[in-house]
Amino acid sequence: MQVDLAKLCPQVVELSRKAGAFIRKERQRFNTDAVELKGKNDLVSYVDKESEILLVKGLREILPEAGFITEEGTTGENPESYEQLEGYHWIIDPVDGTTNFVHSLPPYSVSIGLTWGRTPVLGVVYEVTADECFYAWKDGGAYCNGEPIRVAPVTDLAQSLIITGFPYRVFSDLGRLLDIIKHFTLHTHGVRRLGSAAADLAYVAAGRGEGFFEYNLKPWDVAGGVVLVQEAGGFISDFNGGDDYVFGRELVAAGPIHPQMQKVIAEYWNQTPTQP
């Protein structure tokens, strides 16, 4: 069953804003005693869990036939494997940038993606602190708070600003990451680390940075943002230029500089890493 994504998207936007309002309210009275550890440096709180429950309830009403892949696993529906996904699935990160949220540091975002099989077809990223909602659907364009957005038209890597993320749990590939960051630091306008992959993708879609890359990502980190970049005229791949960027744990997103950026990343990523 195919759905009308143009009609679906405004409902998802409204729901993301509702979740964002809850997150914003809870941040005002948040106590760090409420923080739990899922793993090394992997923080979670009741805000993540309750926001996810709110989102799941609303999304079930919007598209009852869709399955769920959620960061906090509140539905109990996360598939054991992503290889053979069929039909629609909502992929949700209720607070992308939980560490930022805990420290009251922007940005942190609600991220909602919809896939048909393994293909993203709709994405909404609501950046809570700036009250900015980015949204897009397949063949429908990309928008922020009602205004169309486009990737930056920069064609020269040397004139670009690059966004990335650092690992917080798995550090075995840190040496290669630092090699890539060193190259971009020396050969671009600079490298930024903001702390929310969903916001990073939204900002690339809006032309605020020319490219974003990160590894050890989960589907819920990126599913809401990849459609934004694609519909804003950008390009997405994994580090080696392939198309396994939602479930393959690594991603390069950019405008016209994508080929240059991806080539640099692949060259370093496929080498023996240096010691950090």
Binding-site entries for Mg(2+): 71, 93, 96, 221
Report helix, strand or coil for 207. coil
Cα–Cα distance for residue pair 125/17, rounded to 1 Å: 10
Q: Which of 138, 146, 139, 108 is nearest to 125 (CA)?
A: 108
Partnered with residue 254 across adjacent β-strands are 211, 235
According to DSSP, the β-strands at 190-193 and 161-164 are: parallel
Measured in whole angstroms, the distance separating CA 89 from the mean position of its chain's CA atoms is: 16
| Length reported for the chain | 276
Q: Which residue has the tokens 């949220």?
A: 101
Cβ-contact 51, 22 below 8 angstroms:
yes
Cα–Cα distance for residue pair 127/125, rounded to 1 Å: 6
Cα–Cα distance for residue pair 44/266, rounded to 1 Å: 33
Cβ-contact 69, 79 below 8 angstroms:
yes
- Binding region: 71, 93, 96, 221
Cβ-contact 135, 81 below 8 angstroms:
no
According to DSSP, the β-strands at 235-237 and 88-96 are: unpaired
